[in-house]
Structure 1
Amino acid sequence: MLTRRRLLTTTAFAGSAALLLPAGVGAAAPAAPGTGTPQGWLDWLAAHRDSVGLMLDDGTGGRVRHRPHAEQLLASTIKVVHLAAYATAVGHGLLDPRERIRIGDWELHHPYVGDGGAHLQVLRSLGIETNELGHAADPDQRIELDTLVAAMIDFSDNAAADYLRVRLGDRALRAAARAGGWYRPDLRSLQGEVLLLILPEYAPPAGAPALLRRMAGDRLAHWFRVDPGFRERVLRAIPDMPRTPAEQWPSTRLHAHGSAAELFRMHHALAAGRFHPESALPIVRRHLERALAGSVPSGGLGIGFKGGSLPRALTMGMSLRWADGRTGALALLLTDVAQEHFADSPAFLRLGVSVLAQPRWRDRLVRALGD
């Protein structure tokens, strides 16, 4: 039997996980070597300029661009599109955020592994008893739909994003992205990507168009949802799947890509109020601005944030609304990040807040990138 302990240790790195947010993430930190401080991350950017995609507007006329149109891994930052589509549907009266949904239906989108343990963290936070596979012991329990959306943003639960995608449809997600200035988002099943890692024999050949991979992942995700026999097959294959970031990289480097410019436009539109329908904005901001509520600088109204990570990739989209009407936004996409730097993601977030809120940090960013 595949135990929960073996299951989780087998796949510690696979999938798009959230950046962890300790208390006081916006506070100053003592100087330390490496990437343990915001300055350490600036040094990393300076040394890896060809691995960085960035677009920043701090709302005061300070703008920084570095490879803004380069296609890079998005990881869980893509979930801002799912959130916008959900908020749009609620704003139009098509969804009720208080609807009680069955946990088992949500978990049909979770192939047991591949999210860094995010789903298990969600269930524990909700006080839901779990079985040996990290799913709800009672799949007939129900939670509010808005709680599932919070899990997608706060814990970066992949199954929540896929549940929304299947329920709303790609047309609704594309329309929401378009309303935010993102015209061709790379929408695909996050569950499908994990299943392609577990069962690589179903992946298209090397060099195949991204569309074929998206189609293959969607097919596997649908198969998982409807066929208990296939779910058993997946369970049997998990112990033999790639375990380390280096082993997973050939697969995860093919995940969804996008540019810093596209991600920036989405966050800026949502924060600045240029997204329609306007009724969606309070819903989006409530979810995006919750995580960093304790880091808002004096004079600020809210910091919107959605980050993500994959082996060798660390990403964030961020916005800062000011009481005087200014709006800042940042998209920062990194690849070729060594695994030891992932523990320093809190400093990465502090860098994001700093370059948005403080001109001196914006100037340091300019010097680091040579732009």
Structure 2
Amino acid sequence: MLTRRHLLAGAAAGSAALLLPGIANAAGPGTPDTTTEQGWLDWIAAHRRDVSVLIDDGAGRRAALNTEVRRVLASSVKVVHLSAYATAVAEGSVDPKEQIRVGDWDAHHPFVSDGRAHFQALNWLGVPCDDYGIAKDPEQRVPLARIPEAMIFFSDNAATDYLRTRLGDPALRRAAARGGWTRPDTRSLGGEVLMLMMPEYAPRPGSPVAVRRARGDAVARRFVADPAFRAEAFKRFPSMPATPEEQWPWTKGHGQGSASDLFSLHHSLAKDRYRPGGALAREILAQPLSDRVPPGASEVLFKGGSLPYSLTLGLSVRWPGGRAGTAAVLLTGVSAQDMQNSLPLISAVLSSLSDPARFAALRRALG
């Protein structure tokens, strides 16, 4: 059973975040208290160079800052994969009732990298697994429809890479372009983690994006196909960089996009302009925050993401009668302490979309 705890865990982390030590939540003297909505507005006002926001409340109010600056997207990019899957279902090229082998899904999970999202997804489905999130019976079957749900509800990276492999990059690019996002960076998330675990397979720092993407894709394919390589990766992950500071050089080279890109696709879905497949994508995006719908609204659509020092989200509120407000928020330079407080940030964005006074407060924070 999918519970509020499961959904809010995915909503708050929403991430490809690695397993990191716990951090206390208390703000230091003179620093914004990000345990509150106002604290996040204060943080934004103090870090405008590190903030990209595009927000339109659907009632004539719009604000923007650094909308074309490319920043790390983390798991927010998964709305592209979801849109491609929903399109494929609508066009009849995939059957959501297809029974897929859990071992084929597991093969995209390099043991760490997602805050135990894959482990949580398998438990949600009642699939017995070990502590690393690997199914005890790889021959067990689950419906294909559960894969995009695991990707959105828990932010499962293995589900993301499974869908990318099934659908192909051309289908992902077409799906994103239909919503106004051209050339999204849909590299392998598992490949990125494997290059952090096994840096000898990574390109030199500063290499072109295309080179890093190709290296990551290659190492991910090897992980799927070569049991001996998977065994070697398993031995290596305990010694991988463990702190945000150590992981930051890797994080900076992760997949990027702009607030304008993310906003376009989310707003197309929210305004019912995305066809075919928009209805299914909305149905899935509406689940994580289904109990946080503002008064008078009909639903909230959400996907967030996080990596060291990076916190991102795409969020829409829909009202009866066709009004839809959307926000894309990309933050860089977020401390490990503040990363623990993503739920108040989500609340601040929800408030801004549904309350003109809170929208005005956000506009002031953006300058």
- State the TM-score, normalizing by the size of structure 2: 0.91
Paired residue type of 2:101: R
User: Identity rate of aligned residues, in percent?
Assistant: 51
Q: Does 1:287 align with 2:278?
A: no
CA distance in 2, matches of 1:343, 1:235: 28
Match of 2:16 in 1: 16
Q: Which residue of 2 aligns with 1:8?
A: none
Give the Å deviation of 1:131: 2.2
Give the residue type in structure 1 aligned to 2:284. H
Q: Deviations over 1:221-258 (max 9, x none)?
A: 00001111111111111111101111111111110000
Inter-partner Cα distance in structure 2 for 1:252 and 1:65: 25
Q: In structure 1, what is the equivalent of residue 33 of structure 2?
A: 34
| Residue of structure 2 equivalent to 1:369 | 366
1:17 and 1:157 in contact (8 A); partners too: no
Correspondence for 2:166? 167
1:132 Cα deviation after fit: 4.5
- The structure 2 residue matched to 1:309, chosen from 306, 310, 317, is 306
Indicate the residue corresponding to 1:249 in structure 2. Answer: 248
- For 1:245 and 1:117, the matched residues in 2 are separated by 17
SS at match of 1:295: coil
The answer to which of 260-269 and 33-42 deviates more is 33-42
Residue 314 of structure 1 aligns to a residue in which SS?
strand
Give the drift of 1:122.
1.1
Counterpart pick for 1:318 among 272, 291, 315? 315
Matched, 1:211 2:171: no
Deviation string, structure 1 residues 317-345 (Cα, Å, up to 9, x no partner): 01111102111110000010000112211
The two structures have a TM-score, normalised by structure 1, of: 0.90
The AA in structure 2 aligned to 1:16 is A
Cα 1:132/1:118, change in 2 over 3 Å: closer
Moved more, 150-159 or 94-103: 94-103
The 2-side partners of 1:77 and 1:132 are apart by 26
Q: Any conservation in 2 of the 1:110–1:159 contact (CA below 8 Å)?
A: yes
SS for the counterpart of 1:215 is: helix
Please give the alpha-carbon distance, in whole angstroms, between the structure 1 residues aligned to 2:232 and 2:48: 43
CA contact (8 A) 2:32 2:42 kept: no
- 1:136 maps to which residue? 135
- Superimposed CA distance per residue, residues 136-166 of structure 1 (whole angstroms, 9 cap, x where no aligned partner): 1111111111111110000000000100000
Gaps of 5+ in 1: 1-12, 19-31
Aligned equivalents of 1:350, 1:38: Cα separation in 2: 7
Q: Which residue does 2:259 correspond to in 1?
A: 260
User: Quick one: distance in 2 between partners of 1:77 and 1:97?
Assistant: 23
AA in 2 matched with 1:362: F
The alignment covers a number of residue pairs equal to 342
- Residue in 1 that maps onto 2:224: 225
State the alpha-carbon separation in 2 of the partners of residues 33 and 166 from structure 1.
Answer: 42
Q: Tell me the alpha carbon deviations over residues 98-157 of structure 1, each in whole angstroms, 9 at most, x when there is no partner.
A: 111111000110011111111111112222211253211111111111111110000000
Which of 85-94 and 134-143 deviates more? 134-143
The Cα shift of 1:299 comes to 2.1
Bigger mean CA offset, 76-85 vs 294-303: 294-303
Residue identity in the other structure for 1:237: R
Partners in 2 of 1:92 and 1:324 — Cα distance? Answer: 27
Q: What is the Cα deviation at residue 17 of structure 1?
A: 4.0
Amino acid at match of 1:335: T
1:114 corresponds to: 113
Equivalents in 1 of 2:178, 2:256: separation in Å? 19
Select 1:344's aligned residue among 341, 347, 352.
341
Q: Aligned partners of 2:282 and 2:247: how far apart in 1? A: 34
